[in-house]
Amino acid sequence: MDRYAASVHGMLEGMGASPDDAEDALQECFVAAWRRAEAFDGGPSARAWLFTIARNALRRQHRRRVGEPASFESLESLGAAAGWGAASDFSHRLDVHDELSWALDHLPDDERQAVVLRDLEGLSGAEAAQVLSISLPAVKSRLHRGRLRLMAVVRGGEG
């Protein structure tokens, strides 16, 4: 439990769960994992398996959000907001941890989840696809759009 609890809790908070929701989902996740341990077939990784259970637990807490349409800005538009073609540099602002965390909170759920799983938690694309129950190309698309939107938010443009 100690080996994975912090990682799962961090993932839940990274996905936008409040501290209370994250703890509730964490508890539900580990109870479910303990009860279903025999069903774990040693697939990609125990961590990805737990992330899947935890994400489903969190999703149950946020059923009202299920089905929300993803954003449909073009990649070109997102790139422009992120500074593609801009003269100013924003790299120095990336060192401000609080600013990056704040920006992450401003991403749409689907894009934030991809960024959290791939970049913050270090899952492979295939593992993230499994956790999110989407295809690998969809993970890549959400990740790219999420990163561009992060750049836009940090830069102070549209988020």
Q: Which residues bind other proteins (CB under 8 A)?
A: 1-2, 5-7, 9-11, 13-14, 22-23, 26-27, 30-31, 34-35, 75-77, 79-80, 82-85, 89-91, 94-95, 97, 100, 115-116, 119-122, 140, 143-144, 147-148, 150-151, 154
Nearer residue to other proteins within complex by CB, 79 or 159:
79
In the complex, the smallest distance separating the C-beta of residue 38 from other proteins, rounded to whole angstroms, is: 13
Count the neighbouring beta carbons within 10 Å of the beta carbon of residue 117: 28
Nearer residue to other proteins within complex by CB, 20 or 67:
20
In the complex, the smallest distance separating the C-beta of residue 107 from other proteins, rounded to whole angstroms, is: 12
Nearer residue to other proteins within complex by CB, 68 or 102:
102
Backbone angles phi, psi at 67, to 5 degrees: 95, -5
Nearer residue to other proteins within complex by CB, 46 or 100:
100
In the complex, the smallest distance separating the C-beta of residue 12 from other proteins, rounded to whole angstroms, is: 9
Rg of the chain over Cα atoms, rounded to whole angstroms, equals 16
In the complex, the smallest distance separating the C-beta of residue 50 from other proteins, rounded to whole angstroms, is: 12
Count the neighbouring beta carbons within 10 Å of the beta carbon of residue 2: 5
In the complex, the smallest distance separating the C-beta of residue 23 from other proteins, rounded to whole angstroms, is: 6
Nearer residue to other proteins within complex by CB, 18 or 68:
18
What burial letters (b/e) apply to 53-87, b meaning 16+ CB within 10 Å?
bbbebbeebeeeeeeeeeeebeeeebbbbbbeeee
